[in-house]
Amino acid sequence: MSTRVLAGVLLLLFVLLQYALWAGKNSVLDLVRLRSTLEDLTTQNQSLRDRNDRLHADVVDIKSRLSAIEAQARSELGFLKPGETYYQVIETTAPKE
C-alpha cells in the first residue's frame, strides 16, 4: 500500500512540475513569446539606428556646406531663388472606356 501511495505522490509531483514547466509563470511558453518579442524589438531598434545615422549625416552635411542648406530648403520647403519661375506640371489621365 505504501508503494502505491509513494507512486501516486511522485506522479502528482511530476504532473505539477510539468504544468509549471509548460504553463506556469516563467514557463517555456513565456520564453518563446519573449524571444519573439526580443527579435521584433531588435529589428525595430536597428531600423531606428539606421534612420538616426542618416539624420546625423544630414546634420553634419548641413553644418558643413552652405549648398546643402540651400538644397534642403529647395527640396523640402519649395524655396526659389530671386528671378526663378516655378512651373507645376499636372498630368491628367485619360478616362477609361
Q: What is the pLDDT of residues 27-62, one digit of tens each?
A: 778 888 899 999 999 999 999 999 999 999 988 887
What is the pTM for the complete model shown? 0.48
Q: Domain residue spans in the chain?
A: 2-77
pLDDT of residue 56: 94
pLDDT in tens, 66-84: 787 787 777 788 778 788 8
62 and 72 in contact (C-beta within 8 Å)?
Answer: yes
Phi, psi of 95 (to 5 degrees): -65, 140
pLDDT of residue 36: 94
Task: Name the CA dihedral angle for 31, 32, 37, 42, rounded to a multiple of 10 degrees.
Answer: 90
Tell me, rounded to whole angstroms, the distance of Cα 20 from its chain centroid: 32
Instruction: Read off the pLDDT band of 97 (50, 70, 90).
Output: low
